[in-house]
Structure 1
Amino acid sequence: MSKLNIDQKSIKDLFSDNKADFLIPDYQRPYAWQEKECQTLWDDIFTFAFPDNDYTKFNSSNDEYFLGPIVTFKNEDKKQEIIDGQQRLTTLMLLLRAFYERYGSMMDQQSIKTKEMIEKCIWKTDEFGNPNKSELKIDSEVATDNEKEQFLRILRTGNAEDSDKSNYAINYRFFQGKIAEFLNTFPGYFSYLPIRILNNCILLPIEAESQDTALRIFSTLNDRGKPLSDADIFKAQFYKFYANQNRKDEFIAKWKDLEVLCTNYFHPISGTPMDELFTRYMYYERAKMGNKNTTTEALRKFFERNSYALLKKEETFNNLIDLANFWKAVLDEDVDKFSEDALRRLFVLNYAPNGMWTYAVSVYYMVNRDETDMLDDSKFCRFLDIIIAFIWTYALTNPGVNALRTPMYAELVNMYDGKEVEFADFKFDKQHVINVWNNYNFSNIRAITKSILTWWAMRDKSQERPTLERKFEIEHIFARNRQVNERSLQDARNLESLGNKSLLEKKINIRAADYRFADKKKYYEGFVNGRGQTKEGTIIHELVHLAQTASDFVESDIKDRSLKIQNAFIDFLQSHNLLK
């Protein structure tokens, strides 16, 4: 069990400790507090220290104001690396520096003592307690903060130039203004405010044994804050690599562009968009290592291996950029990058029953791209077909994404080794697939239901490829309410069979939900209403064809269509040699 050092401390006790040596690490985000946050802090502290604007109502022995936790761990250089509390610590340092600067040459005893206390909070001291003004008690290495030097300069000199536009400078000048107002209003009690801030404003420093523990504590304590992602940690490693080559500005610009791209195109259920990119890339590196292990390491554990060796290579960062651009092209349905045949298959995969396909496609791209980052179209289409066929069937016969890991991870390694993707060791028994299919409950809540219906719609050569923005639901061609009213289906289970279901645009599905087939036909085809408004029909070709050629859709039609879908899928498996 990890040990924690937790000890409530005043600002003075925490900052003036001779061992205090805070570091805002390179993976942290830039300083983000603005004037409104500083105004709130000032108002809260002032109200606490001067209740009802009366300094005599403050009880210095008992009154405390809690500012929150500070989560750190001691790194290899013996510095207290800040995981949580960066914004508060930075702002408090600016506030204390503004007070110190205001004291100037004040020589009264209270001012001298208070000024000396602040000195010990800002600067390191020698064994006699004298400040060394060349050594601050806080440092910043934030990789993407181009203005951190302004913060350090303000602490060293007490000056924020008019040309300084950073949050550090703006907030420092804000505090200078507030302190000036306070001095004019309460000239005789000036030292009471900073001394009460130092002695009675409380922080809860939590020192963890390791970065991992500190990050876990942060995630637990700070449900309002934005926890550091794995990608934030990775960014720091790349930054160090590029900084050692005097190319840090180049890296920062590329990283920011990559963040924007990922934010626009990746929308993971958990983790950040950048974490999703690293996850997809991880499977390529796993394949390269020949790793078929179905127990997947946590993302950060994988990349921190051998002291983050993978992240100390320019090739890795360039690969991440290339992979992100590939997925941008996929989601943009880029006709310059992909053929229509490939785009149709990628559309189907967007309705996959799980996300494993994104890892397989990522590895395929990394392994098979040419010098212009293009893929051989015919080979890519064959690969996509096999992935569709295998994942869809596995979802039926071995439900759950965990079960899919065994064959998929093995195939990723084969893919990297240059072998054809064929799942040779995991072929399906034809009769078993048919038996499972016939006994399967294709309910709407099961993802595989929409997956198969999407595959079925797109195998129709007459079917126009919808855009990814067009949203589909599952339509009951023979309406549920029709069965409630007519009871015309002898086997009520046919109501939920695939033969009675189709993709249909959400807005049309809502309108056509409970109509008889004769009434539904106009919604499938589109029509002009009584107000002269054109109501768009469906893009699903099969439904349009049904509306134009059939007078009704009954139980025999459901059975016939169910068998057609099943037979077509079995043929699909056979054609890609996935049956024993």
Structure 2
Amino acid sequence: MSKLNVDQKTIKDLFQDKRADFLIPDYQRPYAWGETECQTLWDDIFSFAIPDEGRTEFDSNSEYFLGPIVTFKNSVSKMEVIDGQQRLTTLMLLLRAFYEKFGHMQDKASVATKQNIEKCIWKTDEFGEPDMSALKIDSEVATDKDKDEFLEILKTGVVKPGQKSRYAANYRFFQNCIDDFLAKYPTYFAYLPTRIMNNCILLPIEAESQDTALRIFSTLNDRGMPLSDSDIFKAQFYKYYSDIGKKDLFIKQWKDLEELTESIFHPLNGTPMDELFTRYMYYIRAKQGIKSSTTEALRKFYEKDNYTLLKREDTFNDLITLAHFWEDVINQDKDRFSQRILRRLFVLNYAPNGMWTYVVSVFFMQNRDSEGLLDEDQFYRFLSKITGFIWTYAVTNPGVNALRTPVYAEMVSIVNSQPVTFVDFKFEADKVQSMFANFTFNNSRPITKSMLAWWAFQDDDQELFPLETVLEIEHIYARNRYDKDKSLTDVKNLEALGNKALLEKRINIRAADYRFEDKIKYYQGFVNSRNQKKEGTRNHELHHLSETLTDFTEKDILDRTEEIMAKFLDYLRENGLLK
């Protein structure tokens, strides 16, 4: 059974301990606290240490708990920090900012406080004198380009004018807080840092190994900045690559991969690296034959069998390959993908849920060749089929959870080199037509934009939009037109698909007038009174309508709705999705 040393300590006791030699290892992420977190810390400890702004007597036996610090002693006897990096780093910056203010103060309390801070920041010799060249904390964070700035601030107490790192910003913040405090409460000045050191409590948890420390960490959170799942995975990779003598290569590749994922993934939850691990997880699940609609949490999945999956070089190489594939998707890379593939991928970016990214990841990982490329025709058929299926399922079986059952089964088929058929989940044409006819395609439903994106690219002349283009839903027959002339027999037709199209945001704002004849110039583009050219829409259908119609009526709405639905049923039929 693993042994733990757990004993709550004051900041003074922990930092002044002769064994205190903290190392923030290279697999940790960069320092992330900003002014908000520092302000919270300052407010909390100030309220605790100077109760009622000095009007209430301080209880010397009181304690304020700051949280845990999880470490293990590594092979060179340093206390490697697994959890608590943000808190530990910030406390060091705070103490250093206080220390700088005691430079010329000679009263007994100030001298004693200064000496106590010295022994918290610097190692001491055998006579108890601080060695100003030996800090009690070091950082080797591979992806933190500012770590040297942190160490320089601790050594010198000076922030140079050009330094803009979080370390520098937070140090300046604490300097300003201390200046304000000194001006307002000069008689309490020595008391605040003394009470912080003597009465603010940390819970150091020293594990006997990195594995034990990581297991402990998994049940703890840093103060608002817990390590992400991918940070845990990084530690496992790091250990593996260190064992095979490739630590430096791994550190560089991980840093590059982090920067890449940050540029291409923007998940609602978790980090960009977590998103990459999630997409890869679905490939591994499929390889393991897992069809269950219950998906494990990311960390639970990868920690199986003592993180065996993360102790293989090919896993990390796969993650890099997968990330570069998605980079080319996001960048609409014309060297990797043909125009018809890029058009299908563009439409999928408007899918009603994110499931498509997982099944596409599985398809890519299984079918890529030695150069990471896919067969053009096979990939096109696959993208067309999943588009039709996911779009239809969003109306007939709403909710991403319902989609898991058919899609997870197809993922297993993909890794077994079988074609994607959705054979057990094909649709009845009459049922689809009826459900679509009775479905309200209001703007709040993601499937509305999905259908409009699909429809726009049924037009062979529709050019590709850059993915960063902000497209909004345009009511061709404007809603405020109906409010004024009531020229529709059924108000529900306002929200019909036949009355909607995707339009660039900048044009959608201008084209809000209720008359179609006034929209025409915005669709087509025009030159304003200042001789400035205003570009028209790149939606080919809207451009065409503006050239062929002088008005857009209720009949046009109904005819266009019927045309969209008929073409969509043909699309499902062509892709073998109808019974």
For residues 30-87 of structure 1, the C-alpha deviation after alignment (integer angstroms, 9 at most, x for no partner) is 56899xx99x999x999x999xxxxxx9999738795x62324577999895412555
Asked whether 1:172 is paired with 2:170, we answer no
Asked if 2 retains the 8 angstrom alpha-carbon contact of 1:24 and 1:86, the reply is: no
TM-score w.r.t. length of structure 1: 0.77
Aligned to 2:562: 563
Return the alpha-carbon distance in structure 1 between the equivalents of residues 248 and 478 of structure 2.
61
2:390 partner letter: I
* Structure 1 position 499, deviation (Å): 0.8
- Larger radius of gyration, structure 1 or 2? 1
Aligned to 1:53: none
3-state SS in 1 of match to 2:295? coil
Q: What is the CA RMSD across the aligned residues, in angstroms?
A: 5.0
1:507 partner letter: R
**Residues 516, 171 of structure 1: alpha-carbon distance in 2 compared, 3 angstrom cutoff:** same
2:221 to 218, 222, 228: 218
Return the alpha-carbon distance in structure 2 between the equivalents of residues 385 and 300 of structure 1.
33
Asked whether 1:404 is paired with 2:403, we answer yes
**Residues 60, 85 of structure 1: alpha-carbon distance in 2 compared, 3 angstrom cutoff:** farther
Aligned to 2:162: none
3-state SS in 2 of match to 1:62? coil
Aligned to 2:183: none
Equivalences for residues 331-350 of structure 1 within 5 A? 331-350=330-349
Asked if 2 retains the 8 angstrom alpha-carbon contact of 1:60 and 1:200, the reply is: no
Aligned to 1:423: 422
Equivalences for residues 247-262 of structure 1 within 5 A? 247-262=246-261
1:218 partner letter: N
2:60 partner letter: N
3-state SS in 2 of match to 1:557? helix
**Residues 439, 169 of structure 1: alpha-carbon distance in 2 compared, 3 angstrom cutoff:** same
3-state SS in 1 of match to 2:387? helix
Aligned to 2:200: 202
Extract unaligned runs of 5+ from structure 2.
100-110, 159-189, 207-211
More deviation in 358-367 or 546-555? 546-555
For residues 515-535 of structure 1, the C-alpha deviation after alignment (integer angstroms, 9 at most, x for no partner) is 311222222111222332222
Identity across the alignment (%): 51
**Residues 541, 116 of structure 1: alpha-carbon distance in 2 compared, 3 angstrom cutoff:** closer
Return the alpha-carbon distance in structure 1 between the equivalents of residues 496 and 93 of structure 2.
67
* Structure 1 position 482, deviation (Å): 1.5
Asked whether 1:70 is paired with 2:67, we answer yes
**Residues 70, 137 of structure 1: alpha-carbon distance in 2 compared, 3 angstrom cutoff:** farther
**Residues 498, 266 of structure 1: alpha-carbon distance in 2 compared, 3 angstrom cutoff:** same
* Structure 1 position 230, deviation (Å): 0.9
1:28 partner letter: Q
Equivalences for residues 290-309 of structure 1 within 5 A? 290-309=289-308
**Residues 549, 254 of structure 1: alpha-carbon distance in 2 compared, 3 angstrom cutoff:** same
Asked whether 1:363 is paired with 2:346, we answer no
2:324 partner letter: N
* Structure 1 position 20, deviation (Å): 8.1
**Residues 82, 372 of structure 1: alpha-carbon distance in 2 compared, 3 angstrom cutoff:** closer
**Residues 519, 199 of structure 1: alpha-carbon distance in 2 compared, 3 angstrom cutoff:** closer
Asked if 1 retains the 8 angstrom alpha-carbon contact of 2:241 and 2:247, the reply is: yes
TM-score w.r.t. length of structure 2: 0.77
Return the alpha-carbon distance in structure 1 between the equivalents of residues 88 and 441 of structure 2.
54
* Structure 1 position 22, deviation (Å): 6.8
Equivalences for residues 470-485 of structure 1 within 5 A? 470-485=469-484
Return the alpha-carbon distance in structure 1 between the equivalents of residues 135 and 569 of structure 2.
70
Aligned to 1:144: 142
* Structure 1 position 422, deviation (Å): 1.1
Asked if 1 retains the 8 angstrom alpha-carbon contact of 2:92 and 2:121, the reply is: no
Extract unaligned runs of 5+ from structure 1.
51-56, 100-110, 125-129, 151-164, 176-191
Asked if 2 retains the 8 angstrom alpha-carbon contact of 1:573 and 1:579, the reply is: yes
For residues 528-560 of structure 1, the C-alpha deviation after alignment (integer angstroms, 9 at most, x for no partner) is 223322221111111111111122211111111
Aligned to 1:509: 508
Return the alpha-carbon distance in structure 1 between the equivalents of residues 192 and 482 of structure 2.
78
2:29 partner letter: R
* Structure 1 position 172, deviation (Å): 2.4
**Residues 210, 401 of structure 1: alpha-carbon distance in 2 compared, 3 angstrom cutoff:** farther
3-state SS in 2 of match to 1:387? helix
Asked if 2 retains the 8 angstrom alpha-carbon contact of 1:6 and 1:204, the reply is: no
**Residues 302, 452 of structure 1: alpha-carbon distance in 2 compared, 3 angstrom cutoff:** same
Asked if 2 retains the 8 angstrom alpha-carbon contact of 1:229 and 1:272, the reply is: yes
Equivalences for residues 378-417 of structure 1 within 5 A? 378-417=377-416
Return the alpha-carbon distance in structure 2 between the equivalents of residues 561 and 202 of structure 1.
69
